[in-house]
């Protein structure tokens, strides 16, 4: 059962767990559970995914309940009339805030993108971040006697594949738990000390104007128990919202 965050006659949003694929993929052929399939069986309706979340990323995932609704929402997404925010725990102390304006080459998969062009230019990719808190942990990592981390709110303005993960790697502050773009020594630390085996990236909010009612909607998803346990490492002087 998926946690349903919002539902009306046109749209439904769920809180996707980390580790769950949105739909079937040749990349993970061994997987048998998918968000689309679970939600269809849960509500007894055909659903249309409107955007993607990486398998290890948790948080707000929006579906349409008809082809027409899917077309209307897809238009809003394509014209960048939706806004998303993410929570992320990254290595090191970042600046208080900043913008990452760094074009990204399209990432192709050897299995599913065999016929895709490999000479495409890098695409525009922009991410804003705000540092919410920092934590210093008394564990040596690599050549450093202590381990330092930042809790960030990330706001992507484009939707490139693995954009947030690749952008944080680009500024030398990879997301903890990222086995592809991150740092293995920090991932191991969180596994061993905090039993955290997930990517610490969570799609917290999705904001848009409802394509039928004109209402301004903000759909919010709470992090899971593992992520919340990690958040306790940070001195909180604010609400996570």
The rounded distance, in Å, linking the Cα atoms of 210 and 12 is 12
The rounded distance, in Å, linking the Cα atoms of 176 and 199 is 6
Q: Which residues are catalytic?
A: 54
Contacts of 46 (CB under 8 A, 6+ apart): 40, 65
Of 171, 123, 183, 132, the C-alpha closest to 154 is 132
The rounded distance, in Å, linking the Cα atoms of 237 and 101 is 29
Q: How many CB atoms lie within 10 A of CB 169?
A: 19
The rounded distance, in Å, linking the Cα atoms of 224 and 59 is 9
């Amino acid at each position: 059962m998926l946690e349903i965050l919002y539902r009306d006659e046109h749209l439904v949003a769920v809180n996707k767990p980390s580790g769950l694929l949105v739909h079937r993929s040749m990349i993970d052929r061994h997987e048998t559970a998918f968000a689309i399939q679970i939600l269809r069986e849960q509500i007894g309706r055909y659903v249309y995914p409107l955007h993607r979340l990486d398998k290890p990323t948790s948080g707000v995932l929006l579906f349409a309940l008809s082809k027409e609704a899917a077309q209307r929402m897809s238009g809003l997404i394509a014209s960048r009339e939706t806004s998303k925010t993410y929570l992320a725990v990254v290595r090191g102390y970042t600046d208080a805030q900043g913008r990452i304006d760094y074009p990204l080459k399209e990432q192709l998969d050897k299995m599913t993108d065999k016929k895709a062009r490999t000479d495409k230019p890098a695409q525009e990719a922009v991410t804003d971040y705000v540092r919410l808190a920092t934590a210093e942990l008394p564990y040596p990592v690599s050549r450093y006697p202590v381990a330092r981390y930042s809790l960030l709110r990330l706001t992507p303005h484009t939707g490139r594949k693995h954009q947030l993960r690749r952008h944080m790697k680009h500024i030398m502050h990879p997301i903890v738990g990222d086995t592809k773009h991150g740092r293995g020594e920090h991932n191991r630390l969180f596994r061993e000390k905090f039993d955290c085996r997930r990517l610490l990236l969570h799609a917290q909010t999705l904001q848009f104007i409802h394509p039928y009612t004109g209402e301004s909607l903000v759909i919010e998803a709470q992090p899971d128990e593992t992520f919340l346990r990690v958040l306790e490492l940070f001195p909180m002087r604010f609400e996570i919202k």
